[in-house]
Amino acid sequence: MKKPHTSNAVKNFTLHLHPLKINIRAIAFNRTFGLGGIAALLFTLLFITGMMLRFVYIPSAGQAHDSILNLKKNIIFGNLLRNLHYWSAMLLVVVAFLHLVRVFYSQSLFKERRQNWLYGLLLMFLVVSANFTGYLLPWDQLSYWAVTIMTNLLSYIPFLGDTLAGLIRDGDTVGEATLLRFYHFHTGLLPLVMVFLMTIHFWLVRKAGGVALPNVEKPQKVDTHPHLTYKEAYVALIIILALLLFSIFVDAPLLDKAKPIVSPNPSKAPWYFMGFQELLMHVHPVFGSFIIPLAVTTFFIAIPFFKYPELKPGVWFHSPNGKKITIVSAIFSAIFTFIFVIINDTVFDFSNRLADWQSILSTGLLPTLFYLIPTSGFVVFIGKRYKANRIELIIGIVSIILSAYITMTLIGSLLRGEGMQLIF
């Protein structure tokens, strides 16, 4: 009996994920940059390395940190394995974010793809949740206080905050019960849910006809194998080799064992939450941890359900006009956000200048309006200046939001020193 040829086996497996033939324009690297596939690859790497780390890691406040030290010092390739897992996780957050951005700016979220956009948002939330739950597991000063900061922020959510924070921590403070809960979420529940949702996500992509492309009269199609599969294999090989080399030379951070009564200075949230921490330094916690995140999340969910007079699936930025609006909006948002932070820190501190006011007004409503009114005026300006249609205005607003969060993340990560004061 003849054994199946390796090439045929690869082809048969690939056809579970891709159609037999594919539009030749869909396999151009700059169409999607392979971000969805890279995210799936990183998830697979994390699953494999995570399973191996489970054999060594001990989810106990007394032994977790020591088990990491044992992994680093006494187990062959243990440090490399941990580094590979850590950097893959960090890269997955970035890649998943860029994938969402790519889908939005290439207008691949409308009509039959609306449902998949919602699954994508949910998967982004799960990626961050998985990263956050894994962040605590080394049980060092960095992870302990980062998780303490973020769980404390949740308590500011009206009505449900204290209950939600207590549910996540399994207590009033971050402790051994929190570590055990995070461990089970990180190694059990979250990966299973992500596999389930990723399966639906990939199926909906294929159901929608694959990558969103501009309409042409006679699309040219080629065989998926080898035209697409070989490109995917090359990209996967490059990503794995790059991660491996990086993990050889750059260690994942590990500070001293967690000390619940001794906080580091400064105490910072994980880098992907630094934008939220920076936001909370300028607005009331009810606004920073609930109202603003809820408004932004609702807006992103609603984007594909608005009525648009004209849609161009697969066309980057909708039009040359949309591209200009994207660039101008991102630059405006970065500059204005930076100026807002500097003014609030050094010139006009709302909490001190308006100490007689209720805090939710002086540090909540007023700073929010101080930011929103000029920003809204800018949106009106670009609408008139570029004669923008609805989708182009939405593109501008999204660019403002993304640029503002990235700017706050960079400020919080790079420009805050002791006492979370600006370093200049």
Q: What is the pLDDT of residue 348?
A: 79
Residue range(s) occupied by CATH 1.20.810.10 in the chain: 1-260
Question: Of the candidates 359, 393, 361, which has an alpha carbon nearest to the alpha carbon of residue 378?
Answer: 393
Contacts 24+ apart (CB under 8 A), 281-285: 281/420, 282/340, 282/341, 282/344, 282/363, 282/367, 283/363, 283/364, 283/367, 283/368, 284/359, 284/360, 284/363, 284/364, 284/365, 285/153, 285/156
Q: Which residue reads 């970065």 in tokens?
A: 334
Nearest 5 degrees, angle CA 413-CA 419-CA 423?
55
Residues in Cβ contact with 258 at an 8 Å cutoff, skipping those fewer than 6 apart: 61, 65, 139, 140, 141, 143, 144, 145
The enclosing H or E element of 222 equals: strand 221-223
Fold of 1-260: Cytochrome Bc1 Complex; Chain C (1.20.810)
pLDDT reported for residue 10? 55
**Dist. CA 84–CA 33, nearest whole Å:** 22
Residue 329 burial (CB count, 10 A): 24
What pLDDT was estimated at residue 214?
Answer: 85
> What's the pTM value of the predicted model, to 2 decimals?
0.93
- Give the position of tokens 């979370």: 420
| Distance between CA atoms of residues 226 and 377, nearest Å | 52
Tell me how far apart the alpha carbons of residues 365 and 98 are, in angstroms, rounded to a whole number: 31
pLDDT at 6: 55
For residue 411, what pLDDT is reported?
97
Q: Which amino acid type is present at position 325?
A: I
Residue 103 has a pLDDT of 97
The position carrying tokens 């243990």 is: 78
Phi, psi of 281 (to 5 degrees): -80, -10
Residue with tokens 């060594």: 56
Average pLDDT over the chain reads 92
How large is the angle between the packed helices 161-169 and 176-184, nearest 10 degrees? 80
165 and 151 Cβ atoms separated by less than 8 Å: yes
Phi, psi of 282 (to 5 degrees): -120, -15
Are 340 and 371 in contact by the 8 Å Cβ rule? The answer is yes
List of the chain residues with pLDDT < 50:
1
d(CA 303, CA 44): 30
pLDDT the model gives residue 4: 52
